[in-house]
Structure 1
Amino acid sequence: MVIKVERVLHMVGGGGETSYATNSRLQEKAIYRTKPILEIAVAEMYRTLLPEKMVVVDLGCSSGPNTFLVVSEVLGIVGDLCRRLEQKPPEIQFFLNDLPGNDFNNVFRSLERYEKKMEEENGGLLVPHYVVGVPGSFYGRLFPCNTVHFFHSSYCLTWLSQVPQGLGSEQGVPLNKGNFCIAENSPPQVVKAYQEQHRRDFSTFLKSRYVELSIGGGMVSTFLGIKSKHPANDELNYLYGLVAEALNAMVSQGIISENKVGTFNLPIYGASMQEVKSVIGVEGSFDVEKAESIWDPFDDSDNVLSGKNVASTLQAVMEPLISHHFGDAILHELFSLLADIITARHLLKDKCNYTVLNSNSLSSCHRRHGH
Structure 2
Amino acid sequence: MVMEVENTLHMKVGDGESSYASNSFLQEIAIRKTLQVLKHTIKGMVNLETAFSKVFVLADLGCGTGTNTLLLASMVIDLVLELCKEINLKTPQFQVFLNDLFGNDFNTIFQLLPKFRANLKKEKGENFGSCFVSAIPGSFYGRLFPDESLHLVHSSYSVHWLSQVPEGIENNKTNIYMAKTSPPNVFEAYGNQFHTDFIKFLELRAKEVVRGGCMVLTFLGRSSADPTTDDGCRHLELLSQSLLDMVKEGLVEESYMNSFNVPYYTPCEDEVRKAIHKEGSFFLDTFNAFQGNWDPYDTDFTNMVDLNEQISHIHGKNCAKVVRAVSEPMLTSHFGNSINIDVLFQKFQMRVAEDLAKKKTRYFNIEIVIRKTLHVLKHTIKGMVNLETAFSKVFVLADLGCGTGTNTLLLASMVIDLVLELCKEINLKTPQFQVFLNDLFGNDFNTIFQLLPKFRANLKKEKGENFGSCFVSAIPGSFYRRLFPDESLHLVHSSYSVHWLSQVPEGIENNKTNIYMARTSPPNVFEAYGKQFHTDFIKFLELRAKEVVRGGCMVLTFLGRSSADPTTDDGCRLMELLAQSLLDMVKEGLVEESFINSFNLPHYSPCEDEVRKAIHNEGSFCLNTFNVFQGNWDPYDTDYTNLVDLNDQISHIHAKNCAKALRAVMEPLLTSHFGNLINIDVLFQKLQMHVAEDLANKKTRYFNIAISLSKK
SS in 2 for 1:232: coil
Q: Give the partner amino acid of 1:36.
A: H
1:185 partnered with 2:512: no
Taking the aligned partners of 2:681 and 2:478, their CA distance within structure 1 comes to: 30
Q: 1:123 to 1:298 in 2, by over 3 A?
A: farther
Q: Is the 8 A contact 1:273 1:293 kept in 2?
A: no
Match of 2:576 in 1: 241
Q: Is the 8 A contact 1:228 1:272 kept in 2?
A: yes
Taking the aligned partners of 1:98 and 1:229, their CA distance within structure 2 comes to: 30
Taking the aligned partners of 2:661 and 2:610, their CA distance within structure 1 comes to: 26
How far 1:114 sits from its partner (Å)?
2.7
1:87 to 428, 438, 446: 428
SS in 1 for 2:384: helix
Pairwise mapping of residues 108-257 of structure 1 onto structure 2 (< 5 A)? 108-122=449-463, 126-168=467-509, 175-257=510-592
Match of 1:262 in 2: 597
Aligned Cα RMSD in Å?
1.6
How far 1:192 sits from its partner (Å)?
0.4
2:652 to 294, 304, 312: 304
TM-score by length of 1: 0.84
Match of 1:30 in 2: none
Taking the aligned partners of 1:250 and 1:229, their CA distance within structure 2 comes to: 32
2:377 to 27, 38, 42: 38
How far 1:320 sits from its partner (Å)?
0.2
Taking the aligned partners of 1:180 and 1:44, their CA distance within structure 2 comes to: 41
TM-score by length of 2: 0.44
What whole-Å deviation, never above 9, does each CA across 1:263-321 have from its counterpart, x for those lacking one? 01110000111110010001111110111111232221632211110001110000000
Instruction: Determine what percentage of the aligned residue pairs are the same residue.
Output: 39
Match of 2:282 in 1: none
Taking the aligned partners of 1:358 and 1:350, their CA distance within structure 2 comes to: 25
Bigger Rg, which one: 2
Q: Is the 8 A contact 1:118 1:125 kept in 2?
A: no
Taking the aligned partners of 2:577 and 2:466, their CA distance within structure 1 comes to: 46
**Larger RCO (alpha carbons 8 Å, 6+ apart):** 1
- For structure 1, the 5+ residue unaligned runs are 1-33, 169-174, 365-371
What whole-Å deviation, never above 9, does each CA across 1:87-117 have from its counterpart, x for those lacking one? 2211111000011000001111112223334
1:339 partnered with 2:695: no
What whole-Å deviation, never above 9, does each CA across 1:116-154 have from its counterpart, x for those lacking one? 344444456735210000001111211111111111111
Q: Give the partner amino acid of 2:486.
A: C
How far 1:180 sits from its partner (Å)?
0.8
When structure 1 is superposed on structure 2, of 106-115 and 58-67 the one drifting more is 106-115
When structure 1 is superposed on structure 2, of 222-231 and 107-116 the one drifting more is 107-116
Q: Is the 8 A contact 1:118 1:124 kept in 2?
A: no
Q: 1:124 to 1:310 in 2, by over 3 A?
A: farther
Taking the aligned partners of 2:592 and 2:554, their CA distance within structure 1 comes to: 44
When structure 1 is superposed on structure 2, of 109-118 and 193-202 the one drifting more is 109-118
Q: Is the 8 A contact 1:46 1:78 kept in 2?
A: no
SS in 2 for 1:46: coil
Taking the aligned partners of 1:216 and 1:97, their CA distance within structure 2 comes to: 22
1:67 to 408, 418, 430: 408
Q: Is the 8 A contact 1:79 1:126 kept in 2?
A: no
Q: Is the 8 A contact 2:439 2:478 kept in 1?
A: yes
Aligned length: 324
Match of 2:665 in 1: 317
How far 1:215 sits from its partner (Å)?
2.0
Q: Is the 8 A contact 1:223 1:356 kept in 2?
A: yes
What whole-Å deviation, never above 9, does each CA across 1:229-278 have from its counterpart, x for those lacking one? 11212323100000000000000000011111100111000011111001
1:48 partnered with 2:387: yes
SS in 1 for 2:385: helix
Taking the aligned partners of 2:498 and 2:585, their CA distance within structure 1 comes to: 30
Q: Is the 8 A contact 1:160 1:268 kept in 2?
A: yes
Q: Is the 8 A contact 1:288 1:359 kept in 2?
A: yes
